Amino acid sequence: MNNPSAASGDGQPAPSSVSRVVLSAADIERALTRIAYEILEANKGGENLLLLGIPRRGFPLAQRLAAKLAASDPAIDPAAIVGQLDVTMFRDDLAQHPTMAPRRTELPASGVDGKTIVLVDDVLYSGRTIRAALDALVDLGRPRAVRLAVLVDRGHRELPIRADHVGKNLPTSSSEKVRVRLHEIDGGTAAGDQVVIEAGA
Amino acid sequence: MRHLLSTEQLSRENAILILDTAQEMSAVGEREIKKLPALRGRTVVNLFFEDSTRTRISFEAAAKRLSADVINFSAKGSSVSKGESLKDTAQTLEAMSADAVVIRHWASGAPAQLANSGWIDAAVINAGDGTHAHPTQALLDAFTMRAHWSKLQGSSSVGADLAGMRVIIAGDVLHSRVARSNVWLLRTLGAHVTLVAPPTLLPVGVEHWPCEVSYDLDAALEKGVDAVMMLRVQAERMNASFFPSAREYARRWGFDDARLAKLDALNLKDTIIMHPGPMNRGLEISSAAADSPRSTVLAQVRNGVSVRMAALYLLLSGEMREPAAAHHFPAAPPVKDHS
């Protein structure tokens, strides 16, 4: 998945017959609900939490998690604890790819100082995006702690990074592709959300 | 696109990509740590054969915010004053493995010569050549206008162009590379441009440019306008008598207090006044106009750093050994990979 052009067809039903759905919309929903409770448990409540989604699909996941946190803890304002953290300029592979346009970094007014940050992304693979995210975060301030929540952990780590909250551990071969479809980004209906594994081309 | 030489060939798609990237870069200037690591280890040479303060420090700030190493070179006090040719200077820079050359030159076409001659492998950014082009200035002007225009329409500026905006560019069009670059870029972005100048300060062939031409600033203002850009009267290029006296110029083509009041009288409350700097206060722009809330002069300087960061980032990041014809600007922003 290190080739950006390979992700251009993201979310579309794969034309090949060798793709299979590993998480349905209901599975994603349940996984996020569990992660939300895990986040509250690990943090001993909802105080000082900040969810930062990594573009593009981490951001809607962070929004969904925030809504679930707010549902179980009425003291939480879901809009005030979600942000987006762009890592493009911190990547270590900028020179290996065609130019990548940076995306927006948006933080809630509270900033990151002293907060417990939960980085949210869709797929955890080599760990390099998270490495970039940690560097990006350091330039924004000094969080009290940083945790990582991902929808899918597909293995093949290249850096000593692991997720604190995982929706589903998915053993894959590195030739396979994991496609996450979320209606906020890819259009369609909420019931069409899914995670698909495609055999490598 | 490997070089940024003029705005004439810049496609709408690439122009908007630069402006959108500049938008993201502008957020960096407001952070506590005003630095991104994107160009770490790359070398940017500022090659200035003509005096400039604001453009050079703007490029220097932009390169440094992206963590590039910056080497400043000015013709004064260098081997150029001993008679070194552009070719030899370029090859010296090549030998020092510069990744980008930001060049300002008094001769129109010097950046294009540098980019196309094969003397040098680096990306070339034109920072103003003779009376030809100044693309980053035009881009920062367009960025400033776009921020204003989309705020008026209550929409997001990302991805937007300037369709429907009415722009007056007034002053010394003949010598102005800023006016030329702006005319081309604003046409690409869909704005309607009117040039206003004394007949002696309009170039031959201006009737073929994609804009209207007028000799009467008041009449042009009365037709309605969203942005007025005043050009500097370039005293260093006024070696012929283009107008009878400075006072007459200020009265007929300068943006004076009376014209500032006129904007209010015409109910053009949202019209902005722009100037690329440095200003000749009292000549082409009055102090009251330059310091009024309508003036975007300082916003233009601030946006200049963001736009130059965007240009440097888009030209210098990406595959290092990409063939010149390949897509340095991808059509669609690629999707972040999973890792």
Q: Break chain B down into helix, strand, coil percent, rounded to 5.
A: 40, 15, 45
List the single range of A15-19, A20-24, B211-215, B330-334 with lowest mean pLDDT: B330-334
How far apart, in whole angstroms, are the C-alpha atoms of residue A66 and residue B192? Answer: 46
Structure tokens at A187: 């259009």
Count of residues for chain B? 339
Question: One-letter amino acid identity for A183?
Answer: H
Is A87 in contact with A138 (CB distance < 8 Å)? no
Q: Which residues in A lie closer than 8 A to residue B331 (C-beta atoms)?
A: none
Domains of chain B: 12-133+300-316 (3.40.50.1370), 135-297 (3.40.50.1370)
* A89/B38 CB distance under 8 A: yes
Q: Is residue B278 reached through a cis peptide bond, with omega within 30 degrees of 0 on the bond before it? A: yes
The beta-carbon neighbor of A99 closest among B33, B37, B317 is B317
* B332/A8 CB distance under 8 A: yes
Would you tell me the crossing angle of helices B12-28 and B135-153 to the nearest 10 degrees?
80
The beta-carbon neighbor of B328 closest among A99, A105, A126 is A99
Distance of CA B96 to CAs B68, B89, B125, Å? 15, 11, 18
pLDDT at B324 over 60: no
Collect all residues with Cβ–Cβ distance below 8 Å to B161 and sequence separation of at least 6: B12, B16, B146, B189, B190
- Per-residue pLDDT of B47-80, as tens digits, reads 999 888 899 999 999 999 999 999 998 877 777 7
Which pairing describes strands B166-170 and B192-196: parallel, antiparallel, or unpaired?
A: parallel
* A8/B334 CB distance under 8 A: yes
Domains of chain A: 25-173 (3.40.50.2020)
pLDDT at A8: 42
Q: Which of A27, A5, A70, A67 is nearest to A181 (CA)?
A: A27
The predicted model scores a pTM of 0.86
List the single range of B30-39, B221-230, B273-282 with lowest mean pLDDT: B30-39
Q: Give the pLDDT of chain A (201 residues) as one tens digit per residue.
A: 444 444 444 445 445 558 899 999 999 999 999 999 999 999 999 899 999 999 999 999 999 999 999 999 899 999 999 999 999 999 998 888 888 888 989 999 888 999 999 999 999 999 999 999 999 999 899 999 999 999 999 999 999 999 999 999 999 999 999 999 999 999 989 999 999 999 876
Is B165 in contact with B191 (CB distance < 8 Å)? yes
Instruction: Report how many Cβ contacts below 8 Å link chain A to chain B.
Output: 117
How far apart, in whole angstroms, are the C-alpha atoms of residue B338 and residue B35? Answer: 25
Question: One-letter amino acid identity for B195?
Answer: L
Mean pLDDT over all residues of chain B? 89
Question: Which ranges of B283-325 would DSSP assign to H, the alpha helix?
Answer: 287-290, 297-316
pLDDT at A71: 93
pLDDT at B130: 92
How far apart, in whole angstroms, are the C-alpha atoms of residue B337 and residue A133? Answer: 13
Cα A197 versus chain centre, distance = 17
Q: What is the DSSP string of B184-215?
A: HHHHHTT-EEEEE--GGGS-TTGGGSSSEEES
Is B62 in contact with B305 (CB distance < 8 Å)? yes
Any A CB within 8 A of B11 CB: no
Cα A4 versus chain centre, distance = 16
* B314/A130 CB distance under 8 A: no
Buried b (16+ CB within 10 A) or exposed e, B74-100: bbeeeebeeeeebeebbeebeeeebbb
Average pLDDT value for residue range B179-204: 95
Q: What ipTM was predicted for this assembly?
A: 0.77
Average pLDDT value for residue range B137-147: 97
* B319/A96 CB distance under 8 A: yes
Q: Distance from first CA to last CA of chain A, Å, rounded?
A: 12
Buried b (16+ CB within 10 A) or exposed e, B147-184: bbbbeeeeeebeebbbeebbbbbbbbbbbbbbbbbbbb
Q: Nearest CA to CA, how far is B236 from chain A (Å)?
A: 40
Considering only residues 309 to 338 of chain B, which have any Cβ-Cβ distance to chain A shorter than 8 Å? 313-314, 317-320, 322, 326-330, 332-338
Half-sphere exposure of B294 (CA within 13 A, CB side): 27
* A99/B20 CB distance under 8 A: no
Q: Which of A130, A31, A119, A35 is nearest to A83 (CA)?
A: A119
Q: Which residues in B lie closer than 8 A to residue A135 (C-beta atoms)?
A: 37
Q: Nearest CA to CA, how far is B337 from chain A (Å)?
A: 6
Any A CB within 8 A of B339 CB: yes
- Per-residue pLDDT of B230-243, as tens digits, reads 999 987 777 667 88
Q: Which residues in B lie closer than 8 A to residue A100 (C-beta atoms)?
A: 317-318, 330, 333-334, 336
Q: Nearest CA to CA, how far is A79 from chain B (Å)?
A: 20
* B333/A10 CB distance under 8 A: no
- Which region, left, alpha or beta, applies to residue B126 given φ > 0 means left and ψ of -120 to 50 means alpha? beta
Which pairing describes strands A145-153 and A116-124: parallel, antiparallel, or unpaired?
A: parallel
* B334/A97 CB distance under 8 A: yes
Structure tokens at B9: 């060939």
The beta-carbon neighbor of A2 closest among B20, B320, B337 is B337
* Closest residue, chain B, to A57 (C-alpha): B336
